[in-house]
């Protein structure tokens, strides 16, 4: 079957040809002929990327009467991004139809501009529930002539708390109308609302709603919960050309993970509900142009992202509803491309993984988190491939004699080593002594239980050896930098969550260089010492001025030699030694000297306030 067999107007068929569409997708084959020839309500179930917008959009446009300048169809969707995407597609379908006007109405944009567009005669309105209600209350949007209502992503509208809004909007529409419900998932809540909003609807389901795309592989990695971010980094590093979405559960986690990735030198950004429309548009524009390789997003924020070339979907956290996992995985492997859906799981999620397998009717493939050597080899070969495939500029020719003269003392092997070291030192440094993050997927182990004493050995194994004994009293002379290196002090330590990779990421980001040789890194309780090639001493001092990390103002200065009055080092080492020694005593025993100072009380109070705000936010979301 081809589009010309579906009975659409010639103008619409011409627009479809311009878009490069030849054969309709399964959902389009089933839906379009039915909607053109029947006024019955419809429930259509299909996964993301199967062409749902054209499935309802083409019949809606087909039935529009050009000479009537009042809204005849309204399409409701949960997010601004999806609203804009649907409007863009609808305009493409209707570009050869004279007099057909489509208006997008959504929050975060100038409402007066939207009012003006509607008043000029718009037959199709695409909108988010909140803005539609606002226009109805202002009596700028009248739905008395509506003949078709489309509820797109109805499950997500309910999840976002739009049930009452849908009631208000549908109450403004005529009783005699056609209601179309399109969704990737159909939980019980959506089934309930169909009884109120629809009359004897026909159901079209193009394959089992619980099956994922056939050309998507499903992998999972089993790690300790605290090692999720480390595993994410390694997964990204081993997939050198990754272009995908990392799904998180909450806005806060989305922002936190995106910030960490950016600080660590990755092309990443966040997409969540707290962004303004202009910020959201900017992020999506960069993502579509592949200036961003990894987009970190919540499920709600990702609705409406329509990109066919995604190579990976990474589940940083599994969703509560298994069908949402199917929906996520359907964002890759589109348009004939192959894709990979990845789960970063821990042992307590074994049952969840089994239920997903049952729903997929396919096996989830257990993969091992790669070690440092595997990642370095992959990155090295990728670097060599880039060099080989780089187009050589003709302007280089005039510099060849000078370059040859400078490199004359190096033989072939030495030249390769120098070149690789220049471009590759960051990976070699970061993954030196990197440990094993994998845990046994077949059983729970003591490492996965919430005990600090049991967790410590696993944590130590993944920590660089120079960092392992940082809570012990250092040897004399440990403050002394290696020859040719300058030792710096930075006012961030492990109490602020600083790790070696974060510091390396900051150096790369703030100096705008990725080839600065970095020596030892000693992370203490409230500050850190690190060594950098002395050639870059001034560069480090200048680049870190006026900078921030995770909301903390950063201060960097050259460390004093060990024989000087460097009280910071002595006091911190003393506190760390006492803390280490006290752990061997009875845990319930606390001496008077160990009572927190007033500053610690203030910090604790802040923690309580932070917990209360998180609890309130969680409560609001549940409502």
- Looking at the chain, the whole-number percentage of residues with pLDDT higher than 90 is 31
For the CA atoms of the chain, what is the radius of gyration? 29
Strand pairing report for 552-553 and 556-558:
unpaired
448-466 residue pLDDT tens: 443 333 333 333 333 333 3
- From residue 501, alpha-carbon distances to 58, 239, 256, 264 in Å are 51, 19, 15, 7
Three-state secondary structure readout of 265-284: CCCEEEECCCCCHHHHHHHH
pLDDT at 71 over 90: yes
Buried b (16+ CB within 10 A) or exposed e, 147-178: bbbbbbbbbbbbbbebeebbeebbeebeeebb
Q: Which residue has the higher pLDDT, 208 or 198?
A: 198
Question: 30: part of which helix (H) or strand (E)?
Answer: helix 26-37
**Lowest-pLDDT choice from 33-42, 105-114, 334-343, 572-581:** 572-581
Length reported for the chain: 623
pLDDT of 605 reads 41
> What DSSP designation does 42 have?
E
pLDDT of 4 reads 78
The highest-confidence range among 298-302, 372-376, 421-425, by mean pLDDT, is 372-376
Taking phi over 0 as left and psi of -120 to 50 as alpha, with beta for the rest, 199 belongs to beta
Q: Which of 448, 392, 456, 381 is nearest to 420 (CA)?
A: 381
CA atoms 555, 558, 559, 564: torsion sign: negative
pLDDT of 49 reads 63
**Lowest-pLDDT choice from 151-155, 165-169, 256-260, 490-494:** 151-155
CA atoms 472, 477, 481, 487: torsion sign: positive
**Lowest-pLDDT choice from 6-20, 60-74, 271-285:** 271-285
In the predicted model, what is the mean pLDDT of residues 392-408?
A: 88
Instruction: Give Cβ neighbours of residue 58 (< 8 Å, ≥ 6 apart).
Output: 6, 8, 12, 16, 28, 32, 93
Q: How confident is the model at residue 618 (pLDDT cuts 50, 70, 90)?
A: very low
pLDDT at 336 over 90: no
pLDDT of 232 reads 95
In the predicted model, what is the mean pLDDT of residues 562-587?
A: 44
Q: Which of 76, 79, 44 is nearest to 303 (CA)?
A: 79
pLDDT of 577 reads 38
> How many whole angstroms from its chain centre is CA 170?
34
pLDDT of 337 reads 82
Q: Which of 487, 506, 463, 373 is nearest to 427 (CA)?
A: 373
- From residue 437, alpha-carbon distances to 31, 223, 227, 228 in Å are 48, 6, 7, 9
pLDDT of 481 reads 57
pLDDT at 584 over 80: no
Taking phi over 0 as left and psi of -120 to 50 as alpha, with beta for the rest, 575 belongs to alpha
How far apart CA 193 and CA 172 sit, in angstroms, is: 17
Strands (E), 81-122: 102-105
How far apart CA 367 and CA 312 sit, in angstroms, is: 15
> What number of CA atoms fall less than 13 Å from residue 397's CA on the CB side?
3
131-168 residue pLDDT tens: 999 999 999 999 999 999 999 887 777 766 787 888 89
Burial category of 259 from C-beta neighbours within 10 Å (exposed 0-12, middle 13-18, buried 19 and up): middle
Using alpha carbons only, what angle is made at residue 451 by residues 450 and 453, rounded to the nearest 5 degrees? 155
In the predicted model, what is the mean pLDDT of residues 218-224?
A: 94
pLDDT of 215 reads 82
pLDDT of 561 reads 60
pLDDT of 218 reads 94
Structure tokens that stand for 262 in this block: 């950016």
Taking phi over 0 as left and psi of -120 to 50 as alpha, with beta for the rest, 121 belongs to left
Domains identified in the chain and CATH numbers = 3-205 (3.40.50.300), 216-371 (3.40.50.300), 374-430 (no CATH), 466-582 (3.30.70.330)
Ramachandran angles phi, psi of 548, nearest 5°: -135, 155
425-437 residue pLDDT tens: 777 777 877 888 9
Q: How confident is the model at residue 483 (pLDDT cuts 50, 70, 90)?
A: low
- From residue 266, alpha-carbon distances to 263, 365, 505, 506, 563 in Å are 7, 26, 9, 12, 40
How many other C-beta atoms can be found within 10 angstroms of the C-beta atom of residue 120? 10
Strand partners, 223: 438
pLDDT at 444 over 60: no
> How many whole angstroms from its chain centre is CA 497?
21
Q: Which residue has the higher pLDDT, 55 or 618?
A: 55
The sheet carrying 528-533 orders its strands as 518-523, 528-533, 485-490, 556-558
pLDDT at 542 over 80: yes
How many helices (H) and strands (E) would you count in the chain? 24, 20
How far apart CA 577 and CA 600 sit, in angstroms, is: 19
- Looking at the chain, the whole-number percentage of residues with pLDDT higher than 70 is 79
How far apart CA 348 and CA 317 sit, in angstroms, is: 13
Name the residue with tokens 């250092």.
474
pLDDT at 394 over 70: yes
Q: Which of 560, 568, 577, 582 is nearest to 474 (CA)?
A: 577
**Lowest-pLDDT choice from 165-169, 187-191, 205-209, 389-393:** 205-209
**Lowest-pLDDT choice from 46-50, 118-122, 565-569, 582-586:** 582-586
Arithmetic mean of pLDDT over the chain = 79
How far apart CA 10 and CA 303 sit, in angstroms, is: 32
Name the residue with tokens 């710096």.
488
pLDDT of 441 reads 63
How far apart CA 130 and CA 593 sit, in angstroms, is: 57
**Lowest-pLDDT choice from 160-174, 227-241, 294-308:** 294-308
Structure tokens that stand for 565 in this block: 């009055």
Structure tokens that stand for 511 in this block: 């100096």
Contact by Cβ (8 Å): 341, 217: yes
Q: What stretches of 172-218 show up as alpha helix (H) in DSSP?
A: 188-197
361-379 residue pLDDT tens: 888 999 999 988 888 888 8
Q: Which of 464, 592, 608 is nearest to 523 (CA)?
A: 464
pLDDT of 570 reads 43
């Amino acid at each position: 079957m081809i589009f010309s067999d579906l009975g659409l107007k010639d103008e619409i068929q011409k627009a479809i040809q311009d878009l490069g569409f030849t054969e309709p997708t399964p959902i389009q084959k089933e839906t379009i002929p039915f909607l053109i020839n029947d006024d019955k309500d419809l429930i259509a179930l299909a996964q993301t990327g199967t062409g749902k917008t054209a499935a309802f959009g083409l019949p809606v446009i087909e039935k529009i009467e050009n000479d009537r300048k009042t809204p005849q169809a309204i399409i409701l969707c949960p997010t601004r991004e999806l609203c804009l995407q649907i409007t863009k597609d609808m305009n493409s379908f209707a570009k050869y139809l004279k007099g057909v006007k489509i208006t997008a109405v959504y929050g975060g944009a100038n409402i007066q501009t939207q009012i003006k567009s509607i008043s000029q005669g718009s037959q199709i309105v695409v909108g988010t529930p909140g803005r539609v209600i606002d226009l109805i209350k202002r009596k700028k949007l009248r739905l008395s002539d509506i003949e078709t209502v489309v509820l797109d992503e109805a499950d997500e509208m309910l999840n976002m708390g739009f049930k009452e809004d849908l009631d208000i909007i549908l109450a403004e529409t005529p009783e005699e109308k056609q209601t179309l419900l399109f969704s990737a998932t159909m939980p019980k809540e959506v089934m309930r609302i169909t009884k109120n909003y629809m009359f004897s609807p026909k159901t079209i389901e193009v394959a089992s709603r619980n099956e994922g795309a056939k050309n998507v592989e499903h992998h999972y990695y089993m790690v300790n919960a605290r090692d999720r971010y480390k595993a994410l980094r390694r997964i990204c590093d081993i997939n050198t050309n990754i272009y995908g979405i990392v799904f998180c559960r909450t806005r806060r986690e989305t922002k936190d993970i995106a910030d960490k990735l950016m600080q660590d030198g990755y092309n990443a950004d966040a997409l969540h509900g707290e962004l303004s429309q202009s910020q959201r548009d900017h992020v999506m524009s960069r993502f579509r142009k592949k200036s961003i390789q990894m987009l970190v997003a919540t499920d709600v924020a990702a609705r409406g992202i329509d990109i066919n070339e995604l190579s990976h979907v990474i589940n940083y956290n599994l969703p509560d509803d298994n069908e949402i996992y199917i929906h996520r995985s359907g964002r890759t492997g589109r348009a004939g491309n192959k894709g990979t859906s990845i789960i970063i799981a821990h042992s307590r999620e074994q049952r969840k993984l089994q239920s997903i397998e049952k729903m997929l009717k396919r096996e989830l493939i257990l993969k091992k988190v790669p070690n440092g050597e595997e990642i370095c080899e992959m990155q090295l070969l990728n670097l060599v491939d880039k060099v080989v495939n780089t187009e050589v500029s003709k302007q280089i020719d005039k510099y060849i004699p000078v370059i040859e003269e400078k490199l004359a003392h190096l033989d072939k092997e030495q030249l390769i080593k120098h070149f690789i070291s220049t471009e590759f030192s960051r990976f070699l440094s970061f993954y030196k002594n990197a440990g094993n993050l994998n845990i046994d997927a077949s059983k729970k182990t003591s490492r996965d239980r919430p005990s600090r004493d049991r967790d410590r050995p696993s944590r130590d194994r993944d920590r660089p050896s120079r960092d392992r004994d940082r809570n012990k009293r250092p040897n004399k002379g440990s403050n002394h930098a290696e020859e040719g290196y300058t030792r710096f002090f930075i006012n961030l330590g492990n109490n602020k969550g600083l790790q070696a990779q974060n510091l390396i990421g900051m150096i790369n980001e703030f100096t705008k260089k990725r080839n600065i040789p970095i020596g030892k890194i000693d992370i203490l309780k409230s500050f850190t010492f690190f060594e950098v090639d002395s050639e870059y001493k001034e560069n480090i001092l200048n680049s870190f001025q006026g900078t921030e990390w995770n909301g903390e103002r950063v201060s960097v200065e050259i460390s004093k030699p060990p024989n000087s009055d460097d009280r910071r080092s002595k006091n911190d080492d003393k506190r760390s030694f006492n803390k280490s020694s006290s752990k061997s005593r009875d845990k319930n025993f606390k001496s008077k000297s160990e009572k927190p100072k007033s500053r610690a009380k203030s910090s604790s109070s802040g923690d309580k306030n932070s917990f209360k705000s998180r609890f309130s936010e969680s409560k609001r979301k549940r409502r």
